[in-house]
């Protein structure tokens, strides 16, 4: 089994990558914790896109992980190990204004922020 791991999987670039990798025969593990909803409210949530991927991409599996949570990421990488063929980091902090207002929200951490 060849696995692609995509962070930011429910976003624009991430979702396109999920479809591409699945179409090329890889099992895809999508990582996304819908921080857009935290920053901008329910109307900005990417949950609809995550749900669409889960329903329409047979080779897709979703992981609700904050990419700052090292323990959960390490466990994910340990689970798939040598089966990982590609890793695409498409997760991003969606607001420069928020980063200036609350820089600790975007700093790497060993704990989950939300």
For tokens 């207002």, name the residue: 101
pLDDT in tens, 11-54: 999 999 999 999 999 999 999 999 888 878 899 899 999 999 99
Query: Does residue 18 contact residue 88 with C-beta atoms inside 8 Å?
Result: no
- pLDDT at residue 111, as a whole number: 47
For residue 41, the tally of other CB atoms under 10 A from its CB is 9
**Pick among 2.40.10.220, 3.40.50.10490, 3.40.50.720, 3.30.365.10: CATH of 3-96:** 3.40.50.720
- For the chain, give the secondary structure using H, E and C: CCEEEEECCCCHHHHHHHHHHHHCCCEEEEECCCHHHHHHCHHHCCHHHHHHHHHHCCCEEEECCCCCEHHHHHHHHHHHHHHEEEEEECCCCCCHHHHHHCHHHCCCECCCCC
Q: What is the pTM of this model?
A: 0.83
- pLDDT at residue 103, as a whole number: 61
**Would you list the domain boundaries of the chain?**
3-96
Query: Does residue 52 contact residue 11 with C-beta atoms inside 8 Å?
Result: no
- Per-residue pLDDT band at 82 (split at 50, 70, 90): very high
pLDDT in tens, 25-34: 999 999 999 9
For tokens 């990419």, name the residue: 67
């Amino acid at each position: 089994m060849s696995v692609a791991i995509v962070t930011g999987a429910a976003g624009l670039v991430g979702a396109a990558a999920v479809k591409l990798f699945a179409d090329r025969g890889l099992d895809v593990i999508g990582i996304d914790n819908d921080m857009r909803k935290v920053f901008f409210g329910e109307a900005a949530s990417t949950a609809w896109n995550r749900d669409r991927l889960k329903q329409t991409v047979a080779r897709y599996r979703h992981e609700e992980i904050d990419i700052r949570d090292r323990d959960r990421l390490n466990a994910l990488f340990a689970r798939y190990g040598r089966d990982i063929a590609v890793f695409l980091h498409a997760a991003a902090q969606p607001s420069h204004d928020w980063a200036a207002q609350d820089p600790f929200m975007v700093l790497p951490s060993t704990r989950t922020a939300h």
